[in-house]
Amino acid sequence: MATPDFLSPTDTFTRRHLGSTDAEVHHMLATLGLQSLEELSEAIVPEDIRLRNELDLPLHRGEQAVLQDIRSIAEKNQLYRSLIGMGYHDCLTPGVIQRNIFENPAWYTQYTPYQAEIAQGRLEALVNFQTVVADLTGLPLANASLLDEATAAAEAMAMCLAVSRSSGLERTEFFASQDCHPQTIAVMQTRAEPLGMTLQIGRTQAIDFSNPQLAGILLQYPATDGYVGDYSALISQAHAAGVLVVVATDLLALTLLKAPGEFGADIAIGSSQRFGVPIGFGGPHAAFLSTAETFKRQMPGRIVGVSKDVTGKPAARLSLQTREQHIRREKATSNICTAQVLLAIMASMYAVYHGPEGLRRIAERVHGLAVLLSAGLRQLGFDVGTEEYFDTVRVRLSKMQSESILLRANEAGINLRRYEDHSIGIALDELSSEDEIRLLMEIFVGHDRLPFQVRDLCQNVTTGFPAHLARTSTYLTHDVFNRYHTEHEMLRYIHRLAAKDLSLVHSMIPLGSCTMKLNATSEMLPVTWPEFSRLHPFAPADQTKGYQELFRQLESWLVEITGFSAVSLQPNAGSQGEYAGLMVIRAYHRSQGETHRDVCLIPVSAHGTNPASAAMAGMTVVVVACDRQGNVDLADLEAKAAQYRDRLSALMLTYPSTHGVFEAGVRRICQIVHTHGGQVYMDGANMNAQVGLCRPGDIGADVCHLNLHKTFCIPHGGGGPGMGPIGVARHLAPFLPGHPVTKLGGQESIGPVSAAPYGSPSIVTISWVYIALMGRDGLTKATQVAILNANYMAKRLEKYYPILYRGTSGFVAHEFILDLRQFKDTAGVEAMDVAKRLMDYGFHAPTVSFPVAGTLMIEPTESESRAELDRFCEDCDARPAGGQYHEGPRRKLSERSPNQPAPRQP
């Protein structure tokens, strides 16, 4: 008996996610000469890899039901007051920033600002972020964010190695102070060995500056236990020995403390999380790196520079891109691509809203409360030492004292930091108050009868720092930080910037290989729920049961979708997923006694992160050719696999290919690599064409990373956040990333690749909701419609532009390449001219000159309506005619366009 329609929910989501109605889908299929989506799938996906059974996933549910389910999961998390510190602090996110940036699709659906003309708003916000970092750290050049503090420290270590090599030296040792956060040290340990670096860890007094191999040192300021030291003499010693100095620091503390650049630091790194960004169980947060101009060529990450447009007005653009992986490939210092732009913008707006005086008041309050707490505990007989500190107090205790205090704190709903020597750490923050200080003292003494009034302590305490540590220099003097301190002015400033940018709220962003699909409101809602957004990553496990349930469910769904045996959610970007996957392969070979396997085969068409990641994992990159159809050249692959059979570690393969084709010989490719002793790494950038139709694990891949910010609906945020979890075959599961603070990963873990155990946990809620909403059938249909949309557009445009590559059946996958190279000779028009002109029609440009120079790569995704696809095609139709352009042959369209790029900076 059929279920009556009135028993089904009316808020089902698949029809909201897919841009076209069933009637429009059938019209597009008819345009291709097809009857059904199944017929399309069979024509495009090679028969030998096609999924024969339906995915074992839940069926779709209505939006309200899914939100109720995730609400019940959230309620299993216990929201304690976490004063653990270790680089994570609770803070107040101003409502004007939360509502108008964090929850605003005009900000979170933007793409990386490669097209500066339609990105001036976010570029200005990133200039603000760089200014905040540069001013507070006292170093003139800052990047536009990194992934987290620990990976920023690892990037700085690699930067020191690169500086050493560029000066003709080969210094291969690095020293990290034991006073750094433990997760930072652990991530650096993971990174160091494949780079050929030896990482020493110890007290700064033990540094041997006579060691000619020492490239750099890392100091924490303030230290992980709160201590604020004077490093001036130590840095002078380092520089005398030609050693670079990296300082991990706290932006809020630097409003009161002398800037690292002022006492000689060469590089400063850290996290901007406490500038208004929720903890989120560990992320996402925007890390930063600043340095001297001398080292700009070795600096990782994107840099926004200010130049002038053709009218002479100031304009911002991405600068110094020749350092980055998409250009330098395996020679790049870093593999970073997606960073944390949305969170960097939030942090910059926090600084704009509060201004220098407001930030200083917040810092003085936090510091004053820490001094008050220290004075009270000392008066109560506890050993808190006499060292200088900013916000963190360390109390030395016996084991019995420590256990009883921690028990009472737990009963009061407070998390404190436990040290191995039984000391307890208390890290205060923007939410701390007089009442909280009183409660902490009562917890320590075990009753609520203090022998003094907390306020009375103020008469005998002194805040601030001695002259050799106190900041005297100014910061944030630019008008933008001293103007928008009322909500009205701030609101208007935020919206003025947003109005300068193009995002998914305006039109399709058809960037090939980027999957700019709908980021649905229902998917975004749980991100800001306190039960998800305010948990500390090192909170006790019994307080995070909701998150653990969420992780288990999402991991099991991803295992089913990919055909693998296990998943790690730790990599917090696609680039980090690549690195983690290759490190897992490396560890596997070593476990087999094959340490000599160090060659990574990479097709010439691969994204730049692939060779950059391979180099970071200590592998030698060997390029494999592609044939005239854009496929991996099987003969060249077989020849090189045989040539390097004793050294072959891995092949990195994007599937469908970066040319937008399901290669028919993919199983043969995997077989060749396996026959010669290698493992197959599949780049999941194009997973949006696989879900429900085929699976990497079935195809023959051993590991694959998934871009949750592509296929599974986490928004791109203008260049981050992202998530890059990896799925692995059974034999690789023991090597999945671990963590020094939280037990996870395999028995032979490669170590952590991110600061937090689960990368950027608060945004995986988005992917969980997406999968739950779509269900088994909806996910498969989304893949089919994404492929349909691409083929429909290719069909419409093929009479004007050659489609560069197609599969054996004549179709493309979920994206396709328009070949514009002929128009350079016939009309004097190049791909970039068409890209710029499309902006005049309200579209973001497709991907320009990747993977083939002189082309445009288009990926419409399943979320765009037929009307939007038609509008784009109609605007493209207006360009060429018979090899010429309607508006005058041999004249560049961009010369008549009001959208002009800022001149390149030297």
Give 328's pLDDT tier (boundaries 50, 70, 90). low
Averaged pLDDT score across all residues of the chain: 93
Output b/e per residue, 750-762; b: 16+ Cβ within 10 A.
Answer: bbbbbbbbbbbbb
Residue 507: both structure tokens together: 């039109």
Equal CATH topology for 20-53+776-896 and 565-760? no
Between CA 244 and CA 232 the distance in angstroms is 13
- The pLDDT value given to residue 884: 47
| Strand-by-strand arrangement of the 726-728 sheet | 566-568, 726-728, 703-706, 679-684, 648-654, 599-603, 620-624
3-class secondary structure for 21-63? CHHHHHHHHHHCCCCCHHHHHHHHCCHHHCCCCCCCCCCCCEH
Q: C-alpha distances in angstroms, 345 versus 98, 498, 809?
A: 11, 12, 46
- Could you give the CA distance from residue 504 to residue 517 in angstroms, rounded to a whole number? 8
The CA-to-CA distance between both ends of the chain, in Å, stands at 72
HSE-CB of 558 using CA atoms within 13 angstroms: 30
The pLDDT, as a whole number, for residue 320 is 78
pLDDT at 102: 98
Mean pLDDT of 534-552: 98
Average pLDDT of the segment spanning 171-189: 98
Specify the pLDDT at position 324: 56
DSSP state string for 550-594: HHHHHHHHHHHHHT-SEEE----SHHHHHHHHHHHHHHHHHHTT-
Closest CA to 125 of 352, 355, 360, 358: 352
Triad 606, 612, 616: Cα angle to 5°: 140
| 887: pLDDT strictly greater than 90 | no
Instruction: Kindly indicate the confidence band of residue 888, based on its pLDDT and cuts at 50, 70 and 90.
Output: very low
- Check residue 330 and give its pLDDT: 62
Residue 345 has pLDDT above 90, yes or no: yes
What is the C-alpha separation between 116 and 128, in angstroms, rounded? Answer: 16
Is it true that domain 101-352 has CATH number 3.30.360.10? no
pLDDT at residue 874 is higher than 80: yes
Is the pLDDT confidence value at 902 over 60?
Answer: no
CA distances from 693 to 617, 711, 851, 858 (A): 31, 14, 25, 21
111-to-133, 284, 340, 356, 610 alpha-carbon distances in Å:
23, 17, 12, 30, 20
User: How far apart are the C-alpha atoms of 642 and 661, rounded to whole Å?
Assistant: 26
- What residues contact residue 445 under an 8 Å CB cut-off, 6+ apart? 380
Looking at the structure, give the CATH architecture of the domain made up of residues 20-53+776-896: Alpha-Beta Complex (3.90)
Q: How confident is the model at residue 7 (pLDDT cuts 50, 70, 90)?
A: confident
The predicted pLDDT at position 323 comes to 54
Amino acid (one-letter) located at 112: T
**Structural contact between residues 390 and 257, judged by C-beta atoms closer than 8 angstroms:** yes
Helix 666-675 to helix 634-643 angle, to the nearest 10 degrees? 10
Rg of the Cα atoms in the chain: 28
Q: What is the pLDDT of residues 514-535, one digit of tens each?
A: 999 999 999 999 999 999 999 9
d(CA 652, CA 690): 17
Computed from CA positions of residues 537, 542, 543, 546, in that sequence, does the dihedral angle turn out positive or negative? positive
Residue 355 has pLDDT above 70, yes or no: yes
- Supply 436's token pair: 């909280």
Give mean pLDDT, residues 330-354: 89
Give the SS3 label for residue 732. Answer: helix
What does the block give as tokens for 291? 């340095």
pTM over 0.85: yes
Rounded to 5°, angle at Cα 496 from 492 and 499: 135
Cα 791 to Cα 796: distance, rounded to the nearest angstrom: 9
Q: How far is CA 699 from the centre of its chain?
A: 28
The structural domains of the chain, with segments of one domain joined by +, span: 20-53+776-896, 101-352, 565-760
Choice between 128 and 387, residue whose per-residue pLDDT is larger: 128
| Torsion over CA: 878, 883, 886, 891 (sign) | positive
Residues 174, 256: Cα–Cα separation, whole Å:
29
Looking at CATH, the fold of the domain delimited by 565-760 is given as Aspartate Aminotransferase; domain 2 (3.40.640)
Neighbours of 166 (CB within 10 A): 12
Identity at 471, one-letter amino acid code = R
Q: Which residues are within 8 A (CB) of 464 and not within 5 positions of it... i.e. 6 or more apart?
A: 256, 367, 470
pLDDT at site 311: 86
Q: What is the DSSP string of 52-121?
A: -S----PPP-BHHHHHHHHHHHHTTB---EE--BTTB------HHHIIIIIT-HHHHT---S-SGGGBHH
pLDDT confidence band for 879 (50 / 70 / 90): low
- Beta strand pairing status for 679-684 and 414-415? unpaired
- Quote the tokens at residue 718: 């203008």
Is the Cβ–Cβ distance between 218 and 246 less than 8 Å?
A: yes
Contact 317, 120 (CB under 8 A): no
Residue 307 token pair: 């130049």
User: 648-654 and 679-684 as β-strands: parallel, antiparallel, unpaired?
Assistant: parallel
Residue 463: the pLDDT is: 86
pLDDT digits (tens, 9 = 90+) for 212-266: 999 999 999 999 999 999 999 999 999 999 999 999 999 999 999 999 999 999 9
Q: Are 851 and 605 in contact (CB under 8 A)?
A: yes
Question: What pLDDT, in 10s, does the model give residues 666-718?
Answer: 999 999 999 999 999 999 999 999 999 999 999 999 999 999 999 999 999 99
pLDDT above 60: residue 882: no
At residue 199, the pLDDT reads 98
Cβ atoms of 820 and 486 within 8 Å: the answer is no
Contact at 8 Å (CB) between 408 and 374? Answer: no
Would you say residue 890 has pLDDT above 50?
no
pLDDT the model gives residue 1? 62
Residue 870: which residues within 8 A CB-CB, separation 6 or more? 796
Residue of 796, 767, 814 lying closest to 868 (CA atoms): 796
For residue range 463-521, list pLDDT tens digits in order.
Answer: 889 999 999 999 999 999 999 999 999 999 999 999 999 999 999 999 998 999 999 99
Q: Is the peptide bond before 284 cis (omega within 30 degrees of 0)?
A: yes
Q: What is the pLDDT of residue 584?
A: 98
CA 714 to chain CA centroid, Å, is 11
pLDDT in tens, 402-416: 999 999 999 999 999
